[in-house]
Amino acid sequence: MSGTERDPAGADSAPADGPEAQQPPLVIRDRRKIRKDDPIEPSDPADAPEQPVAASNGTDAATAGETEEESVVVGEVIEPSEVPEAALDAEPSPGPLGAELTALREELDERVRDLQRVTAEYANYRKRVERDRVLVSEQATGGVLVALLPVLDDLDRAREHGDLVGPFGSVAEQLLGSLTKFGLTPFGEKGDPFDPTVHEAVAHLTSADVAEPTCVDILRKGYLLGERLLRPALVAVADPE
């Protein structure tokens, strides 16, 4: 073998001077790592500085290969021409915190509506209880007063005959005043217009002195408890001729 001949194995190990030996420089646009859930922010590729990287040996080649892979991924994300317009205009979807906040707001609104409904029901309950309490009290008072009405009728007849004099008359007046404090009101006087809702006619006659049905005689007084009728008055009615 002459000195001018080369070993074939040595030819593979020696560096070549041809175009195939020169590798194009790698451009690293951004060394940031992009996660899948990060929002897409398009940027101008011209703003990122271009840094040439040459892979000359084994260590540099490995680093260059890793950098190339990373730069390719980043380039695919940040290139405005490769990003769809719909993805740029779309709003980011709410994450787990947004869904949880929406659920909490809905639950709060439901609890507020429940509170308002319970408050209204309680207010109606209080009104109903108060109305029933007043009604029960009036019924109890009315029952006692109705039992005392015959006594008041005897006092009226004694007054008409002039028997309510002295201490007996004073006691009668005190009794009538005490019953009046409970809301007892007597009604029925001669000359009152006849009202069938509060008067009970036991006699009818005609008279030229009246222009409408009129009570001309009171046989028994009537009594009211507030606006409630305890007993109608017994009257004689005169009708116009």
168-194 pLDDT per residue, tens: 888 888 998 899 898 899 999 998 999
The pLDDT, as a whole number, for residue 221 is 92
**What type of residue is 114?**
D
Among candidates 178, 177, 172, which has minimal Cα distance to 159?
172
User: Does the global pTM surpass 0.75?
Assistant: no
> Six-digit token pair at 106?
């809905």
Q: Say how far apart CA 30 and CA 211 lie, in whole Å.
A: 113
| 230 within 8 A of 224, measured Cβ to Cβ | yes
> Six-digit token pair at 45?
């590729």
**Comparing 62 with 145, which gets the higher pLDDT?**
145
> Six-digit token pair at 31?
């060394």
Q: Say how far apart CA 99 and CA 96 lie, in whole Å.
A: 5
Task: Give the confidence band of 164 by pLDDT, cuts at 50, 70, 90.
Answer: confident
The pLDDT, as a whole number, for residue 168 is 84
The pLDDT, as a whole number, for residue 93 is 53
Report percent pLDDT > 70 for the chain.
61
Residue 148 has pLDDT above 60, yes or no: yes
> Six-digit token pair at 189?
């006087």
Q: What is the pLDDT of residues 79-107, one digit of tens each?
A: 445 445 554 454 545 567 888 888 899 99
Q: What is the pLDDT of residues 10-27, one digit of tens each?
A: 444 444 454 444 555 544
What is the mean pLDDT of the segment spanning 116-133?
94
Residue 39 has pLDDT above 70, yes or no: no
Domains of the chain from N-terminus onward: 20-89 (no CATH), 147-181 (no CATH), 183-241 (2.30.22.10)
Three-state DSSP at 163 gives coil
Rg of the chain's alpha carbons, rounded to an integer? 56
- Biggest alpha carbon distance in the chain? 174
| 237 within 8 A of 201, measured Cβ to Cβ | yes
Residue 135 has pLDDT above 80, yes or no: yes
